[in-house]
Amino acid sequence: MSTSPRDWSSHPPYVYPDYKSTVLRGPTRPLIPLKHTLSERTGPVYGHDSLGALDNDLTRNGRRNGEPLGERIVVTGRVTDEAGRPVRNTLVEVWQANAAGRYVHKVDQHDAPLDPNFLGGGRCVTDDEGRYRFYSIKPGAYPWGNHHNAWRPNHIHFSLLGPSIATRLVTQMYFPGDPLLDLDPIFQGTPEAARSRLISKFSIDVTEPSFALGYVFDIVLRGASATPMEV
């Protein structure tokens, strides 16, 4: 299968001053190409056998004594290459804040409640058509210390791991109509022409009656229409 070179005009710069931490961690010197060893080219390998039955259902995989709180959602889409061909059997991982905008992580100590029935993480493997599907709770916005009165939009983190660690894509999915998008330096750090690729689309066809609203988020690897990576 032929591959296209990465279109850097679709991706955010390594250093984007409005997103303050990139100034501290982004490379400022030319990158040094490193020859890939066998481990970077061939592993790790994931498959259906390593997944649990509830790994893709964030509304159930963290339950202790009841249902998680918040608006239930279904997130689905296709993973394709630059020619629209499905990317099969690739691991898709997600992590997110709960409905109150708080992560299950010791570093997250902001004044919002934890949900004892929601872990905020899941994974699945794409099928023969490159499709994935998650059930979850719509994440809440939360404050962060980037600048005065800074709030992150509702978002879900995605990680895709292909046949090796060298093929990993980490990105974020946002929700349509979120007023915080225009104020968010992480979203704004993506070149304007490519920002819409990070916003999911509401779908009444994906929506499940009396249960969950549906969103479609297609992911394109490589090429001129590639899904932007996370800065």
pLDDT per position as a tens digit, 112-138: 999 999 999 999 999 999 999 999 999
**Encoded amino acid at 146, one letter:** N
Cβ neighbours, 10 Å, residue 113: 11
pLDDT score, position 3: 54
- 167 pLDDT tier (thresholds 50, 70, 90): confident
Q: How far, in Å, CA of 45 to CA of 100, rounded? A: 35
110 within some domain? yes
Check 19, 132, 135, 142 and give the catalytic one.
142
Alpha carbon 36 to chain centroid distance?
26
186 within some domain? yes
Is the C-alpha dihedral spanning 202, 108, 14, 20 positive or negative?
positive
8 A C-beta contact, residue 92 and residue 125: yes
105 is catalytic: no
144 within some domain? yes
Q: Which residues have CB under 8 Å from 196's CB, separation 6+?
A: none
Check 103, 135, 174, 215 and give the catalytic one.
103
pLDDT per position as a tens digit, 48-100: 678 899 999 999 999 999 999 999 999 999 999 999 999 998 999 999 999 99
41 is catalytic: no
At 84, which CATH number?
A: 2.60.130.10
Q: How far, in Å, CA of 153 to CA of 142, rounded? A: 7
Check 155, 174, 197, 222 and give the catalytic one.
155
Domain range for residue 46? 22-220
225 within some domain? no
16 within some domain? no
- 177 pLDDT tier (thresholds 50, 70, 90): very high
Cβ neighbours, 10 Å, residue 36: 12
152 is catalytic: yes
pLDDT score, position 1: 42
70 within some domain? yes
Residue 211 three-state SS: coil
Check 11, 102, 152, 197 and give the catalytic one.
152
Q: Which residues have CB under 8 Å from 187's CB, separation 6+?
A: 153, 172, 174, 181, 195, 198
Q: Could you tell me what percent of the chain has a pLDDT over 90?
A: 79
Check 11, 78, 157, 222 and give the catalytic one.
157
- pLDDT over 50 at 153, yes or no: yes
**Do the strands 131-137 and 72-80 form a parallel or antiparallel pair, or are they unpaired?**
antiparallel
pLDDT per position as a tens digit, 15-60: 999 999 999 999 999 888 888 887 777 766 666 678 899 999 999 9
5 within some domain? no
Q: How far, in Å, CA of 11 to CA of 14, rounded? A: 9
Alpha carbon 62 to chain centroid distance?
19
Read out DSSP for 88-122? -S-EEEEE---TTS--SSTT--SSS---TT---EE
pTM for the full model? 0.92
43 within some domain? yes
Domain tally, the chain: 1
